[in-house]
Amino acid sequence: MHRFAYKGRELYCEDVPVRKIAAEVGTPFYLYSIGTFLDHYTKLKEAFQEIDPLICFSMKANSNLTVLKALVNQGSGLDIVSGGELFRAKKVGVDPSKVVFASVGKTEAEIEEAIRARILMFNVESVQELETINAIACRMRMPQKIAIRLNPDVAPDTHHYITTGTKANKFGLDLETAYKLFMESYRYPFLRFSGVHIHIGSQITKSKPFILAVRKALQFIDSVRFAGNPVEYLNIGGGLGIIYSKEKPQTARQFAEAILPVLRSSATRRGLKLILEPGRFISGNSGILVTKVIYVKKGKEKAFVIADAAMNDLIRPSFYGAYHEIVPVTRSGRTRSVLADLVGPICESGDFLAKERQIPEVVSGDLLAVMSCGAYGYVMSSNYNSRPRIPEVVVRGSRYFQARRRETREDLVRNETIVREVV
């Protein structure tokens, strides 16, 4: 569920007409419903309440500071993947003991900064990384908790670019290597082997692959505990799917009802603390992209609706072939519909927001909403074709604010110099 809905002919975000914001801010822009972010966080928290999990919002999905602050104020932790994300996390004052750090390529500088910030733990993805964290923690004289990221070799039914838990992927460690590391934890005196981490992919709509992966992780925990290693945390990652089109994903409650029985035998009885790292589930349906039609070009087979938003603003359709519903911001009452591609102005055939859609007839100046853009939207945007990045607007009830302004032309060249020596 989300808080974008029509009242009469107008699309609203919570209690604000989208058209009103467009008139003030200009197009294109991202629009976030803070109420929806918080609803989704709360739904997950409540679904798992009997084991009081730590929910670390995966900020790679949406790292807008206002969004993060709203979630952190609600009690959320953060899942980070870079020094830049750590910087943002600190800016919003997250409790560092609720921060987990994943990524296959943490640099020494990032590791040092995270240890100094006293984050809860690193999710470690290779032997070399483990050695590096130990060496840095030793140099700093600051013991550090870590979790080993297992690669459970479970293939969820999702786009191959967002499958992460199979042997073909770069993520995590195979179970044999991971077991050996736990057995040899004495070699890393500055590390506390506190957790086991899995993350099998994204936009997973069924519970079954999660159950398989969690079972494998629990068996693994049993075996290392049996050998005398106290494991306190099981981090089951993110990956919960949402509705973009006709998907019927598990709800938070259904997910909890599937996972809790598997955990119950282990988690509550033996005191395992559960960590979840949802990104898309919390943010995906909490945001939209608002764009204006510039031209309509009627071809022989289909029309091209040329909008002012493009692949640099939202890369998901071009990158993953992702589907986003396209709806008018104001229902025009025109009854004819056309078969059309919704495209941007960028010089690439891959620049599209929707392909071969039957959409209500539009004319220049009409506003369109690209739905479900709150996850992996703005964060993946770029300046390709020297297009300034677009604003992010937040709504809470009947009030709206620009949480990030539109970039200016000067912003585009801010970090550049014309090197006189070579021209």
Among 53, 156, 279, 374, binds ligand PLP (CB under 6 A): 279
| Out of 172, 195, 278, 328, the residue judged to bind ligand PLP by CB under 6 A | 278
Instruction: Measure the CA angle with vertex 122, ends 120 and 123; round to 5°.
Output: 125
State the residue for tokens 């159950």: 211
217 or 342: CB nearest ligand PLP: 217
Residue 28 preceded by cis peptide, ω within 30: yes
**Is residue 55 close enough to count as binding ligand PLP by CB under 6 A?**
no
Nearer to ligand PLP, 139 or 170 (CB): 170
Is residue 53 involved in binding ligand PLP (CB under 6 A)?
no
- Kindly provide the b/e burial profile for residues 233-249, where b requires at least 16 CB atoms within 10 angstroms of the residue's own CB: bbbbbbbbbbbbeeeeb
Instruction: Tell me if residue 34 falls in helix, strand or coil.
Output: helix
Closest distance to ligand PLP from the beta carbon of 255 (Å): 12
Nearer to ligand PLP, 133 or 240 (CB): 240
Among 14, 79, 313, 366, binds ligand PLP (CB under 6 A): 79
Among 27, 33, 36, 58, binds ligand PLP (CB under 6 A): 58
Q: Mind telling me the catalytic residues? A: 347
Position 73: which residue type?
N
Q: Is 286 in the site for ligand PLP (CB under 6 A)?
A: no
3-state secondary structure of 275: strand
Residue 11 pairs with which residues in a beta bridge? 6
**Binding string, residues 121-160; x marks residues near ligand PLP by CB under 6 A:** ----------------------------------------
Cβ contacts of residue 308 below 8 Å, gap of 6+?
27, 28, 291, 292, 294, 344, 345
Q: Is 255 in the site for ligand PLP (CB under 6 A)?
A: no
Nearest to 198 by CA among 189, 209, 206, 182: 209
| β-pairing verdict for 29-33 and 303-307 | unpaired
Considering only residues 90 to 119 of the shown chain, the ones binding ligand PLP according to CB under 6 A are 102
Pairwise CA distance, residues 372 & 323, whole Å? 9
Backbone angles phi, psi at 217, to 5 degrees: -65, -40
Smallest gap, in angstroms, from Cβ of residue 333 to ligand PLP?
38
For 382, the token pair is 């770029």
Give the torsion through C-alpha atoms of 43, 45, 49, 55, to 10 deg: 160
Window 368 to 397, contacts with ligand PLP (CB under 6 A): 375
165 forms part of the interface with ligand PLP (CB under 6 A)? no
Please identify, using beta-carbon distances, which residue of 13 and 61 lies nearer to ligand PLP. Answer: 61
Stretch that binds ligand PLP, among 30-38, 128-136, 274-282, 392-400 (CB under 6 A): 274-282
156 and 239 in contact (C-beta within 8 Å)? yes
Residues in the interface with ligand PLP (CB under 6 A) total: 18
Name which of residues 199 to 238 contact ligand PLP (CB under 6 A). Answer: 199, 202, 237-238
DSSP state at residue 82 = S
From the list 14, 277, 308, 392, which residue makes contact with ligand PLP (rule: CB under 6 A)?
277
Does residue 341 touch ligand PLP according to CB under 6 A?
Answer: no
Mark the segment that binds ligand PLP (CB under 6 A) among 56-64, 287-295, 328-336, 357-365. Answer: 56-64
Q: How far is the CB of 266 from ligand PLP (least distance, A)?
A: 21
Please name the helix (run of DSSP H) or strand (run of DSSP E) that holds residue 254, with its range, or none: helix 252-264
How is residue 402 annotated by DSSP?
A: E
Query: Residues interacting with ligand PLP, by CB under 6 A?
Result: 58, 60-61, 79, 102, 164, 199, 202, 237-240, 277-281, 375
